[in-house]
Chain A
Amino acid sequence: MLQITNMVKKYKKVTAVDGLSMKIDKGHIYGFVGANGAGKTTTMKIVAGLLKATSGKVYVNGIDIQADPGGVKKQIGYMPDFFGVYDDLRVDEYMDFYAGVYGIPADKRKKVCDDLVELVNLKDKMDAYVDSLSRGMKQRLCLARSLIHNPQLLILDEPASGLDPRARAEIKEILKELRDMGKTILISSHILPELSQLCTSIGIINAGKMVINGTVDEIMQRVSVNKVLIVKVNGEMQPAVSFLKEQPVLCNVTVSNDQISADFNGDDEQLARILAQMVERKIPVISFREAEKNLESIFMNLTVGGMKDAV
């Protein structure tokens, strides 16, 4: 559905996107992860036809964006990382305006708008002024707007940014529904646990370069992240902390929230030996486990100094 090959975007001396390549298959949800200024929004704007790449190729559904930008725009629904709403319009007028902008025939506009407003659960707000909507509602309205011309590829830049957990959950449910409808979605977000639950593939970008991309499981396997050991003891923690600090395979031993955590660089046998020695020394261990490796730890590992080691 989307194929980017060796895309470069330069602003005078600054290179915002540096030789980025990625591919999203039809019907997939692709999570685009990166720190602020990594080049996510620039990439998305280029795909949406709002910026021109300095070099490289972008194909949407087989259409070259440079050769036929109009054809590509028909395929894309873009939702930027800001609301972009006209406060003086009511919800129905807002949708009707964009339906007109997208060239939906006048006799079909009302039905299209009604269906989309219903999809994003704003049916009861149809007569409300956009200005009066909550942040989450505005975000859902923007999502409905981006769907108005029935695009095949949705580009969502930080759709859950600044939303409370309930509003985030609502957006997530709508995205799942869109996935079930067969839409291809490119989504950027800082809320990584949600991305890993929602996305079929992930791409991590750092300083304009794609650091790693693939399915969440693939990435978990490919990236070697330091394991983190979590230990809980009953009562006094100081003897346990002292013992763990003496171990050569452990470093960065810290205490927080009644538990001790330490970076572990060893194998399972060494881990078992440490536990046995703690029991021998009569340290009252009530929990001893390895922290779960997640997208957040991978992201931190790849974007803060760990980039060089990756892939």
Chain B
Amino acid sequence: MRYNPVIAKELKVKMRGWKSPALVTIYLGFLGLIVFFYFLTNDQISRYSSYSFNPRTAVNIYNMLAIAQFMLILLITPALTGGAISGERERQTLDLLLCTNLPTFSIVFGKLISSIAHVLLLIVASFPILGIVFIFGGIGLVDVLLLFAFYIVTAFMVGSVGLFYSSIFKKSSIAMVMTYVTLLGFVIGTVVIMYVWTFFTMRFGGNPETNPALILIFMAPNPFFGLASMATWSSGYIDIFNIFYELKRIFSDKTAGWIFTRPWLLNITFNVLLSGVLIWFTSWKLKPVKRKKKKKAGYQS
């Protein structure tokens, strides 16, 4: 693999100073507090508790941690990538990179990978906390690894969106806000669209449940759809995701295709495709001199 100086420099700079250790500490502290309070409120750590341990608690705490960690990733990644390109512009170092022969793809990819590496560090550092659930059983190692893979793909997508806006807007703050707005669109906008479609389908006497493929398409960009479908399909039911439980019920009636039993694959596919398109566009956008395709010989107006 070719040496990417942008990754090497970014990792060096990001890990320097107090910010990274502070971020990891706060992140783990937050997850630790969730576990602590969950056990506390469920009488699992009281010395006077008369309840025996309920294995369901382990699955619930796993699901809760999965959601909390997922939300943290969605909140942190835009902050790490939103200023990646615009920050170079603000520091006036972008031109210095663009006047070299380093491909713009290497710049964009380097920025993305270094940001994802930061998120990866947070995910790996949280492993011991998630590992608490192994004490009680109910969750397999494959489930956890699958969840981590899902986190990374989602972080990759969010990072790509951040970089895309970072290349368009000159100010990092605007790029970050636009990334959060886009994520809100994916999370809330998709649900709203699905409900509007359901409302009108029912209004005109139709049954939305007869068209689950369309529901899948509406919900494919929703990162929580991916997460919830993965959690509900693998480890059980999460209370706050009633909507996804409903979807599971609808899809389970269908035998039309394997995708209905694994909707998170659709979300992952969407994330990978969107990331690819955005990375390509960001690289193209950064090129200071864009070459036009040469007209074929003989074709002259």
Residues A52 and B289 in contact, CB atoms below 8 Å apart: yes
Please give, as numbers and ranges, the residues of chain A lying within 8 Å of B96 by CB-CB distance.
Answer: 78, 80, 84, 98, 145
CB-CB under 8 A for A89 and B9, given A49-B288, A52-B289: yes
Within 8 A of A (CB), among B1-45: 3, 5-6, 8-9, 12-13, 16-17
Chain B: interface size category: 20 to 34
Point out the residues of chain B lying under 8 angstroms from A50, CB to CB. Answer: 95, 98-99, 288-289
B121 to chain A minimum Cβ distance, whole angstroms, is 18
**In the complex, are the beta carbons of A101 and B97 less than 8 A apart?**
yes
Contacting pair B5 A100 (CB below 8 A): yes
Of B8, B93, B289, B290, which is within 8 A of A84 by CB? B93
Within 8 A of A (CB), among B64-101: 91-93, 95-101
Q: Whole-angstrom distance from the CB of B56 to the nearest CB of chain A? A: 48
Task: Given the known inter-chain contacts A51-B289, A83-B92, please indicate yes or no for A97 contacting B101, CB distance below 8 A.
Answer: no
Given A51-B288, A84-B91, A88-B16, decide whether A97 and B3 contact each other with a Cβ distance below 8 A: no
Least Cβ distance of B283 to chain A in Å? 15
Q: Are A106 and B3 in contact (CB under 8 A)?
A: yes
For the complex formed, measure the closest distance between the CB of B64 and the CB atoms of chain A, giving whole angstroms.
Answer: 37
Query: With A52-B290, A100-B5, A101-B5 in contact, is A80–B95 under 8 Å at CB?
Result: yes
A149 to chain B: which residues have CB within 8 Å? Answer: 100
- Give Cα A45–Cα B96 distance, bound, in whole angstroms: 11
Q: Is B102 an interface residue (CB 8 A)?
A: yes
Q: How far is the CB of B113 from chain A (nearest CB, A)?
A: 15
Indicate if the CB atoms of B92 and A82 lie closer than 8 Å.
Answer: yes
Does residue A306 face the partner (Cβ distance < 8 Å to B)? no
User: Assuming the A-B contacts A51-B289, A52-B290, A93-B12, are A103 and B101 also in contact, with contact meaning beta carbons closer than 8 angstroms in the complex?
Assistant: yes
Residues of chain B within 8 A (CB-CB) of A73 are 99-101
Q: Does A102 contact B (CB under 8 A)?
A: yes
Extra contacts, 17 of them, besides A49-B289, A93-B12 (Cβ < 8 A), are A49-B288, A50-B289, A73-B99, A73-B101, A76-B99, A82-B92, A83-B92, A86-B93, A87-B91, A89-B9, A97-B9, A98-B5, A100-B3, A101-B97, A102-B102, A103-B101, A103-B102
Q: Which residues of A are at the interface with B, using a C-beta cutoff of 8 A?
A: 45, 48-52, 69-70, 73-74, 76, 78, 80, 82-89, 93, 97-98, 100-103, 106, 145, 149
